[in-house]
Structure 1
Amino acid sequence: MPISSKIRILLILLTLSFIVTAITLQKSITSKDILNFETANLESKIHEKEEVIDELFADPIILKTFKNAEKYPEQSYHILEKYNKDEGIALFIFKNHELLLWSTNLFVPLTDAGLKNPVNYIATNDRSFVVKKKEIGNTTVLAYVMVKKYFNINNEYFTKAFSPLITKSTNIEIADYDDNINIKNIYSKDKTYLFSIKLKSGQVQNIFSILQTLCWILAATCFITLIHNLAKLLVNKEKIIPGILLYLTALIVLRYLDLNSNWLNIHANLGIFNPKNYAYNYLFPNIWGLLITVFFIFLFILFLYNIKDSFSIEKYLKKKGSKIIFAVLSILSVYFFFTILYRTLGTLITHSTTTVVDFTKLVELNIFTWIDLFIMCVSLVTLILYIDLVISNIKKLQISDTVLINIHLSCLILFILIGTSLSENNGLVNILLALIILIRSFNSFLKKKFRLATHIIVIILLSTIFSIYHGHFFKMKKLENMKLFISNLEAEDDINAISLYTEIEKDILNDEQLKHLFKISLPNTSTQTISEYIEKKYLSGYLSRYEFLGFYYNNNKELAPYKNNKVDEYREKVIKNSLKISNNFYRLNSELGTHEYFSIINIQIDKQNTVSLYLNLKNRSFNYSLPYPDILVDSRLNKMEAQSFNNSSIALFKDGNLVTQYGKYNYPSHDNAYPKKLGEYINLDSRDDYFHIMYRPNNYTTFLVSYPKETPWEYLATASFLFLVIFIFFSISSSVRYGFKILKNKSFKIRSIKYHFLFLVNSIQYSSRIQTLFISSIVLAILISGIISFVSISMQLSYNNTLEREKTVTDISKRLESIVSTASTAEEKEERLIYYLKLLSESLSKDFSLYSKSGRLLFSSQPKIYDLNILSTFINPSAFRKLSLLKKSETIEEEVVGDFRYESSYATIRDENYATIAYLGIPNFNAQKDDNLNKNLLLNTLINIYSLIIIGFGFYAAFVANKITEPLNLISKKIAQTNLGQQNEPLFWQRNDEIGGLIKEYNLMILKLEDYANKIKDNERESTWREMAQQVAHEIKNPLTPMKLGIQQLTKSYHDNDAKFEERFKRITASFIEQINSLTHIAKEFSAFAKLPDTKYEKVNLVEKINKSIAVYSQNPHAQIQLMNQTNQASIFVEADRDQLLRTFNNLLKNAIEAGFGKRKIKIDISISNGEHDTYIIKIKDNGLGIPQEMRAKIFEINFTTKSSGTGLGLVFVKKTIEAMGGTVKFDSIEDQGTTFQITVPKYKGS
């Protein structure tokens, strides 16, 4: 069985095996098995943490240190910090049930009471823990291991998930008390029950689902490989169309099955299958759909590219007009293919929600961005392959370069006109694409001298094209967001706010602290304190953008002097001018662009007092400044609007006049210049640096939203980044392509990898080596300097930021110290500090935290962080250690809350006696943003500069390499032209350098060659004639021997008067005549060979000479000779000797007929076609017996013949005649199938 058949059987078996394995895994692995697996894994991790805690509690030195923590606070803190950082175990030390030391400020237990068992499970509203307790006299040590986080905030930084130190599984959750089906209990090492877990509903992601997904992918890969093999087999059997259809059908069927069965998404809970990240249409429901579609198109185009030599388009297109039409349609198909491609890739920008598509923010690029870039790169490779495929087919039509360039220009103009008619402003991009097509069209010519430069130019053009379209689709996305933003401006209700109001009214009614504030202060309640409390606790998030006013009545008596009676005022609003949106909240009818709400909430303080809260909230819809950190941003509410509003400018016109504007853009005072259409979003074309969307909801109101256009710097940054990505991808693709080429080699062995590498290196031209070394040196230097620059500058920026933050916290702490210096009591000092920090927070737009001497929170400008238990009310332990124990004045600490990282500055506030009053904390929640902004700017600058350097030095390297190798090429050309039988010209070189020395040696060499040539000619002439004399003597001797014997026999018969003398005479004379003819033939062959140097070159009609030769041998009844002229020229002229050219074809046809001896029908096909570099290719193919393998090497040698009557000069004559014309002759033979002689001769170039 052939090895190819064995491979196909193996592929079938592998495909079936993977399918069966995937189905078996799906059927055999139940949810119970998965739960058991997850339980064992989770329990083992908890036991590992218990062992660490047990070792800690068994260490007498550590326990002694904890017991005397007041004496050894530094050592105790060091142990706490080590276990918290290395093991994720939070330790807390209590003395007489009072907290003394803590290892984290994320969560801090206030007491050590209530822990009955050695191992306990504690669940709070926001976190759950496994806790172990150790008592040492009056000292208690608690060890907390976090199990799961339950943050009641919908934010990208906070997720309800198990601690990654316990398990990274997303398949399980902690079971509720009423769950009793399919749950598993988790026990400690001593078999104490801790909690129960269950599987989440929906998809599960584990090792078994990963194996199923992998099996399905491997099965599809084996199936595609099998179909590819079968399709290639059909193509090799000249069944091209069936092969193409088979492969295309297989890919379409696989895509259809994937699209309709959702087979991978069922088993793999990955982001590429989630439509929330990307969804466009039925064909592309997620990123995976687009990725696999692009990859299948790539495979199909690659298949067509690999079989392009099998296409014989020239057979069907013989007329010039049909060739031109085919070329035009083919090139237009490239433009259409590119248009579909870029529009599809554009959806990755316009229809992605989580992908970072701004390539100027390199630090923030996520995994989906890199997947999108991979899709883009695969698409670009597909485009280049398709261009090369089209160009290859066009070249087969033998269209002249001038006509081809005209076709390219015509197609470009035509497509630009089509794009203009369809309102597609893509003229520049089409011109750049046309340049790529032209470069690929003349790639074989350009590769000779400008291989690297051509490669870089193509990548520059591609990166420029896609940077332009990136800007185009990025603008489209921004325009859609701007339209959405205007629709929100026009909306009567703020949906985001309403969803919060229902929660607020419940919380206020149940707020015991608020009731306590009223209870202890009535009837002299400070309404300012109440308003501040409500604003900080309930309006510090999304609602902080609203202007808040609070009015308070106790038993319908005002608690502060108001201008009018708010009870009557709001009762009137409820009746006439509002709409109820919840139990206590109402929406007032307000003008467009403004939202105003109020609430009336009655709180029963005690039996005698009922407090009425009249809360009024008014907001300008376009006021989107967020006075709270990202960790308080509700992702559901703010993300889309924040993106829409970011960097935007807004204007509101009423009755034609500008009422208000927001942002950097300066709007005119009137809207007279804007269109008057109502109810339409109008994109305003402007020549400034902004693009605008205008909307008129009615005749009196006009909204304008503006967004800055991409600057040239941003285009350059995007193009530079794309250039590097495409350059790296193309380099990797070339390496993979060469690797596959080596693996496909039948002689390849693992041991020969070194040989193949050396062969690759040695096959590279000297100029390419110079360019490669030059560019690689530059790239290496740039890479090293870029890394050093980035790291050093980043460190310097970080250091400067640290100094600035230390200076800020020091200055503020000093200012606070001077403020409290006149206070007499500690309580007064704290009150002053809190009062002035409130003022500073509002005036400086900074957040502050104030801690007591013991590390407890006194004040925060963001109290909601502590209300939501995101942080505990204790100071950062590392900062507390440095400030209280090491007596530092300030410190900078990096803090982590959930997945949110930020820096906090801490300072000690002291009195005039240097005694600590309190600790000041300034959390810099934007530290990561600022750091990313600086890094993005730095990276963009470095990439822009270094990309330009790489491009510039790429061209410079090509120029330098060509200059260096130019004299070498000249010497190489001269050496190639060096001929022993001709006069060789010496070279002239002015400089006395290495090249000059080489040329000097070359000139000396040709002088010696001329001397040697004369000697060799004499020796060869003597040797050749000696050989020929021997051959001729041998050939003459053969007929002379029987002639001598015949004469002797006739003489004897004559003298003996033999009666049969006459009969014998006739027979012998007939034999003599035959032998004499043989001698004559030998003399003619020898004479013809001897006359080879005496040739007379002239213009000869090649077709005419071949037809004359055919006329001689077509008389043979067993021979069928056919001539096919594929050049589309009736007369084909070459420069040759008429007689020698005719004898050449006579010899070849005679050999072809004799090679078919014994066959019933001898078929000889002669074809003439155009070759490369102005040549004709003549192929003479017969169906004879072929030439045995062992005889092929000697076929053009003198004296060699396979016939008993041959002279061995026929093919020698053919070879010498063709080579004398400046052509070549070669052959290919298959035993028992026939032989094909291929002759290449130059076209006639005379006038």
Structure 2
Amino acid sequence: MRWPDPMQRPLFYFLLGIVLFGIAWSIHEPDPAYKAVRATADLQQGIERALQEVRLIAANEAAFVQEKGGDRWMVERLPVMEQERIRTGTVVFGLQGDSVSCWSGRSPLTVNELIDAHGPYLVLPQGIHLHASVERNGVSLHALRPIWTEPPIENRYLASGFHPSFHAPAGLLVSNADRSGPTVVAEDGTPIFHVAWREGAMEVGPWLWLHLIFVVIAVAFLVLGLWRSAMELVTNGRRWPGILLFGGALFSGRWLLLMWAPSTPIHRLPLFDPALYAASTAFPSLGDLLINAALLVAVAAFIQVALRGYAPGRSNALTMFVAWSLCLAHAAWITQLFIGLVNDSSVDLDLYHVQGLSGASAVALFSVALLFSSWVLLLATMLRTYMKDMTTLLWSGAVALAISIMLHHRYGIVDTLLFLWPVPLIIVLMAADRIPRFLQALIGVAMVAGISTHILTKYTGNREHRERAVLAERLAVREDPVVEVMFRELAPRLRAATELYGLLNGEQPCGPAELDQRIRQRYFSGYWERYDVRLFAFSPTGQALCATAPNPPKSFGGQQSEFTLPTVTVDMPDLFMQEQPGQSTFYHARIAVMPNDSIAPAQLVIELHPRSVAQGLGFPDLLLSGDDPLMRRADRYVQARYESGQLVDRSSGVAYPLRWTRTLNADGSLWYTEGGYEHLAKGHPEGTLLVLGLAEPDLTDLATTFSYLFAFFSVLLSIIVFIHMVRRSHGPPVLGIGAKVRVALGLFSLIGLAFFGWGTQRLLTRQYVQRFESAILEKARSVHAELQQRFDGEGPLGAAQIPYLDHLLGRASNVFFTDITLYTTNGTLLATSRPQVFATGLLGRRMDPEAYRQVVLKNASSFVHEESIGSADFLSAYMPLRDNKGQVLAYLALPSFADQAQREEERSGVLVAVVNLFVLLFALSVLVAVFISNWTTRPLDLLKRSLAAVALGGSNRPIRYRGQDEVGQLVEVYNRKVEELRESAEKLARSERETAWREMARQVAHEIKNPLTP
């Protein structure tokens, strides 16, 4: 007795799907407390091992420093310790008395704090460190290794977390506020810190992906079981009930899940976030769009299989008209869904800037590909079913198409490509018997990529217009979060400044020169130079004393009487933006100056009016908390700013006019095209007006977008075809000569282009780095020449010149459009145009050790290398600042903080250019592969057809082939054999005729000899 194969029974798949659902249901969020305890135990062991390593490093390096000295250590041991810093974060500082003799990395402590540091664990405001120190004969060496880092500012470059060398789980953090969690203790059992999980850390993780995998497999088995159940009805001759069962069960189950199913762990994934994409109840998220598109493809595939070989008994025009109408309605629905995905979602689908794409972008394009596939499957099924009555099919299709066109125009859709794109695909599918299958697939993919390119280009542009309008409105206000943060730090110092109060209470003379020299130059240098800083001083009685500007404060309303009359003292510790229609915006604040609470407060009014500064000198993003993706897009645009109709600021690339003469629309905006750029002007001509320009897409951009989509859809189709061929052949598919040629050419071009792209990217990156290094060195030489002229003959610079140096470097930074830092001859920070970077601890107050090694110890004339703050990488140029006699006054450093965003944009631009070229060449290589394969196999196909038609008595015509290659030799052999066969046929025919004549003559002779008698 032969048992039935369970794989052929639908019940088997249903049971297997239910079992897998049960397994998925059992995979749930792990216990946070248990996970925290385990993670803390592993962390404890890692910290204990790391402490022993730090102690060993301190002992070994202290012995080296004691024996050979700090300078020798910097020359010989620094490269080794730099590798250790990269691996574990360990830094080393050697002290000779109270001065640093050698160091690696950046110290979180000052020299005095290092001297006073004791114990193996240091809990600091910016993190927790392991610490080991060794003292020998006046030499002390300190080794520090970070356990937990907590930067003062958190953004996309800087984030708190455990050092990667401890392999702590993602989401685990140090929590000193909540002490209920597990504790990491010192060697003596003293608690060091408590750990906890970040909010939502356990909601996602490996368990969720494992849960998702089991759910997907379970759903696949349930759908397969439903497929086999419905297919049994089809096999028994009940096609339409089977189709209704499969499609109805899938769509009904999906609708029930959308309407009444509770939220599952899968909905915690970003793909199911409605903020990313939400269109309707049926499409509440991008993940649901993917699921619905996959189910639609399954239903379309089932319909195609179920109606294979189906021939309706009687086809009428009405039935065909309804079928055509459904196909065109389906196409219109896909078009509108695609437009909504591009136009009304947060998914980035701008293929002009592929560096901004994400996994959500790939999922969105994959969903679109599934939607188009479902339509093609249903169309092919309909054409195959009704193809026999071609005349009726064409007339009914023409009527349905005419009605579709009228409906689209009725609802205001005049873009013909949006509703006529199905026509070329219909023609290709109708001519399937006359077009090779591979070429048919290629043309179909190209057409889908073409309409997708049109939709993406058009509606991505509409979306970009909306985003640009919002960005222009925000930039027109000219909010400066950097200066707001700086003023928040400066306000307490001004409030407690004794010398300022001496000016305001009448103890010292108060005039414009004194107020400018003693207050503005001292407190408002560096980054403040971007603004026209106006100061207005008021006595404790409210009387106006002096000001750095001749006009009264604009924040008072511009009335002279309001400025001269006594004013009430008001304390405004934060900057406020003054906005009035038709006037330029500016910041203002009021500080109540009172060094102690026992005296009457005086008042200082501060106004910051924007000056014209070059675009690109912006403060780096790493000094701003949080992340604003929209503001990051500002770097894509060329910009111009007008104040009262005068150009005060512009970026390179477009020569904007000095005066604004265009008339804005009623809403205060204007779109116009000029010089190959599309510009948006927004604001007020008599106040602040901002212009944002973006290069118009050209044919190259359109070709690049088409190439991306063509390559993406081609890869998807290739995967599907390969799986189908493997399934049909139950193993590796057998390829014909044409297929082998196409595959070989495709792989060859893909591998060649991959190597070409890799080599090109490396070459362009190397050239870019060299160009950037040359540019920063050229700036360094210019700054050196300027500073050399100012300090020639003064000797080494010292602490007495710091206030003047800060002021001078701030001005020079705005002139040379770069950040400038000066170090003393022993590598200690002297002055900088970016004090916030050092004040917040993002950079140490000593020169980079590798730069010190090269420039100071090895006497290099200049040195450029890459440094980093968090995940932000930047180049720094170092060179000695010498006078005309060659004496070193200080060491000059130009860290490219301000160029970070520009550098990232240029780097990504290089990568995008290479990728665009790669994709474009890949698309062209596919076309070349088709041409070569057809050119190569066409004679073979002709030879095959000729051989199939060879017959002894047929008209065996020779093949005309002009080539002298192997195919030509084969054709020559064929033609020779055809000629031989013709001669043999003629001989055979002649022989048969002669034999017939002989037989007839023999019979005649026989009759003569033996006449017939009645």
- The two structures have a TM-score, normalised by structure 1, of 0.68
- Please say if 1:601 is aligned against 2:591: yes
Q: 2: distance between equivalents of 1:476 and 1:964?
A: 46
Report % sequence identity. 15
Q: In the alignment, does 2:771 pair up with 1:800? A: yes
- Go from structure 1 to structure 2 and tell me whether the alpha carbon gap of 1:592 and 1:733 turns closer, same or farther (over 3 Å shift): farther
Give the aligned residue type for 1:900.
A
Query: Structure 1: how far apart are the matches of 2:44 and 2:223?
Result: 43
Asked whether the 8 Å contact 1:580–1:587 carries over to 2, the reply is no
Task: Supply the distance in 1 between the matched residues of 2:69 and 2:149 (Cα, whole angstroms).
Answer: 33
Distance in 2 separating the partners of 1:579 and 1:404? 87
1:530 counterpart residue number: 519
Determine the structure 1 residue equivalent to 2:82.
81
Output the CA distance in 2 between the equivalents of 1:995 and 1:893.
60
Letter in 2 for 1:200: R
In the alignment, the residues of structure 2 paired with residue 991 and residue 207 of structure 1 have an alpha-carbon distance, to the nearest angstrom, of 61
In structure 1, the residue corresponding to 2:100 is in which secondary structure?
strand
Q: What does the per-residue CA deviation read over 1:218-249, in whole Å, with 9 as the maximum and x for residues that have no partner?
A: 44444344334433344434254355444553
**Unmatched 5+ residue regions in structure 1?**
746-755, 1019-1247
What is the alpha-carbon distance in structure 2 between the residues aligned to residue 696 and residue 15 of structure 1? 61
Task: Report Cα offsets for 1:515-535 as digits up to 9, x if no partner.
Answer: 366489984766345335544
Q: SS of the residue aligned with 2:164?
A: coil
Structure with greater Cα Rg: 1
Contact 1:653 1:670 in 2 (8 A): no
Once residues 401 and 532 of structure 2 are traced to their aligned partners in structure 1, the CA distance between those partners, rounded to angstroms, is 59
Q: CA deviation at 1:575?
A: 10
Partner of 2:1009: none
* Gap regions ≥5 residues in structure 2: 991-1014
Shift of 1:738: 2.8
For 2:965 and 2:172, the matched residues in 1 are separated by 78
Cα distance in 1 for partners of 2:85, 2:683 equals 59
Matched, 1:760 2:742: no
Counterpart-to-counterpart distance in 1, 2:647 and 2:881: 47
User: 2-side partners of 1:210 and 1:964: how far apart?
Assistant: 48
Distance 1:479 1:735, change over 3 A: same
For 2:321, give the aligned amino acid: I
Q: Is the 8 A contact 2:58 2:134 kept in 1?
A: yes
1:904 and 1:991, CA in 2 relative to 1: closer, same or farther beyond 3 A?
A: closer
The aligned amino acid for 1:473 is Y
2:810 corresponding residue in structure 1: 838
Render the CA deviation track for 1:5-48: whole Å, top value 9, x for unaligned.
Answer: 68655544444444444444438x43321221221232233234
**Aligned residues of 1:65 and 1:76 also touching (Cα < 8 A):** no
1:871 to 843, 847, 850: 843
Instruction: Give the alignment of 1:606-645 within 5 angstroms.
Output: 612-618=603-609, 627-635=618-626, 639-641=629-631, 643=633
Give SS of 1:510's match.
helix
Q: In the alignment, is the contact (CA less than 8 A) between 2:476 and 2:683 conserved in 1? A: no
Say whether the 8 Å CA contact 1:157–1:899 is kept in structure 2: yes
Specify which of 452, 460, 464 is matched with residue 478 of structure 1. Answer: 464
Q: Aligned to 2:581, which of 578, 591, 596?
A: 591
Look up the match of 2:132.
132
User: Offset of 1:196 from its aligned partner?
Assistant: 1.0
Instruction: Provide closer, same or farther for how the CA distance between residues 695 and 899 of structure 1 changes in structure 2, counting only shifts above 3 A.
Output: closer
Q: Is the 8 A contact 1:335 1:415 kept in 2?
A: no
For 1:600, the aligned partner's letter is: R
SS of corresponding position for 1:925: coil
1:653–1:322 CA distance, 2 compared to 1 (3 A): farther
Shift in Å, 1:875: 1.7
Residue in structure 1 matched with residue 761 of structure 2 by the alignment = 790
Q: Is the 8 A contact 1:549 1:617 kept in 2?
A: yes
Please point out which of 319, 322, 345 is paired with 1:351: 345
Map of 1:550 onto structure 2: 535
Matched, 1:973 2:945: yes
Q: 1:834 touches 1:850 (CA, 8 Å); kept in 2? A: no
Amino acid at match of 1:361: H
Query: How far apart, in 2, do the equivalents of 1:288 and 1:577 lie?
Result: 61
Deviations 1:766-787 (A, max 9, x none): 3444444445444443333333
SS at match of 2:843: coil
Compared with structure 1, are the counterparts of its residues 907 and 206 closer, same or farther at alpha carbon in structure 2 (3 Å cutoff)? same
Does the 8 A contact of 1:327 with 1:407 survive in 2?
no
Name the stretch that deviates more: 286-295 or 551-560.
Answer: 551-560
1:293 matched to which residue of 2?
Answer: 292
Cα pair 1:80 1:102 within 8 Å, conserved: no
2:449 matched to which residue of 1?
A: 463
User: Structure 1 pair 51/16, CA: closer, same or farther in 2 (3 Å)?
Assistant: farther
**CA displacement 1:80-116 (0-9 Å, x = unmatched):** 3232122222222223343332221373443324444
Deviations 1:624-679 (CA, angstroms, capped at 9, x unpaired): 9763122234446x65356469526679899xx9999978566997666x766xxx
CA distance, structure 1, for counterparts of residue 688 and residue 121 of structure 2: 64
1:331 deviates by: 3.9
Bigger Cα displacement from structure 2, 508-517 vs 718-727? 508-517
Cα distance, 1:184 vs. partner?
Answer: 0.5
| Equivalent residue runs for 1:1053-1092 within 5 Å | none
Letter in 1 for 2:772: N
- C-alpha distance after superposition, 1:1188-1227 (max 9, x if no partner): xxxxxxxxxxxxxxxxxxxxxxxxxxxxxxxxxxxxxxxx
SS of alignment partner, residue 893 of structure 1: strand
Which one-letter code corresponds to 2:4 in the other structure? P
Partner of 2:169: 169
User: How far has the Cα of 1:447 moved from its partner?
Assistant: 1.0
Residue type at the aligned position of 2:520: S
The answer (yes or no) to whether the contact 1:545–1:623 under 8 Å persists in 2 is: no
Structure 2 counterpart of 1:849: 821
Matched, 1:185 2:183: yes
What is the distance in 1 between the residues matched to 2:900 and 2:188?
Answer: 44
Counterparts in 2 of 1:905 and 1:235: CA distance versus 1, 3 Å: farther
Taking the aligned partners of 2:174 and 2:895, their CA distance within structure 1 comes to: 34
Contact 1:106 1:897 in 2 (8 A): no
Check 1:64–1:478 CA distance in 2 against 1; reply closer, same or farther (3 A cut): closer
Which residue in the other structure is 1:1225 paired with? none
Q: Cα 1:611–1:901, aligned 2, differ >3 Å: closer, same or farther?
A: farther
1:343 alignment partner, SS class: helix
Q: Determine which of 380, 384, 387 is the counterpart of 2:373.
A: 384
- 2:788 match: 817
Are 2:352 and 1:360 equivalent residues in the alignment? yes
Cα deviation for residue 733 of structure 1 reads 3.0
User: Is residue 318 of structure 1 aligned with residue 315 of structure 2?
Assistant: yes
1:298 positional shift: 3.2
User: In structure 2, do the counterparts of structure 1 residues 974 and 207 end up closer, same or farther at CA, with 3 Å as the change threshold?
Assistant: closer
Following the alignment from structure 2 to structure 1, what is the Cα–Cα distance between the partners of residues 686 and 88? 67
- In the alignment, is the contact (CA less than 8 A) between 2:536 and 2:544 conserved in 1? no
Q: Aligned in 2, Cα 1:949/1:457: closer, same or farther, shift over 3 Å?
A: farther
1:922 deviation in Å? 0.8
Residue-by-residue CA offset, 1:546-604 (whole Å, 9 max, x unaligned)? 65322345656746666478799799379999999967766656224643443221222
**Residue deviations 1:137-176, cap 9 Å, x none?**
4333333222333333352222233333334534332222
Q: Partner residue of 1:1156?
A: none
* Contact persistence 2:296–2:371 (CA under 8 A): yes
* Partners of 1:775 and 1:579 in 2: CA distance: 78
- Aligned pair in 2 of structure 1 residues 634, 546: CA closer, same or farther (>3 Å)? farther
Q: Which residue of 1 aligns with 2:999?
A: none
* Aligned-partner SS, 1:169: coil
Q: Any idea what the Cα deviations from partners look like across 1:794-823, whole Å, max 9, x if unmatched?
A: 222322322332333234324433432232
What is the deviation of 1:728? 2.8
Q: Which position in structure 2 is the counterpart of 1:1144?
A: none
Higher relative contact order (CA 8 A, sep 6+): 2
**SS of 2:608 mapped into structure 1:** strand
Shift in alpha-carbon separation, 1:689–1:896, aligned structure 2, 3 A = same
1:885 aligns to what? Answer: 857
Question: Counterparts of 2:427 and 2:234 in 1: how far apart (Å)?
Answer: 29
Q: Go from structure 1 to structure 2 and tell me whether the alpha carbon gap of 1:444 and 1:425 turns closer, same or farther (over 3 Å shift).
A: same
Residues 1141-1195 of structure 1: CA distance to partner in whole angstroms, max 9, x if unpaired?
A: xxxxxxxxxxxxxxxxxxxxxxxxxxxxxxxxxxxxxxxxxxxxxxxxxxxxxxx
CA, structure 1 residues 826+640, in 2 after alignment: closer, same or farther (shift >3 Å)? closer
1:197 to 188, 195, 198: 195
Q: Which amino acid aligns with 1:358?
A: D
Letter in 1 for 2:623: L
What is the total number of aligned residue pairs between the two structures? 970
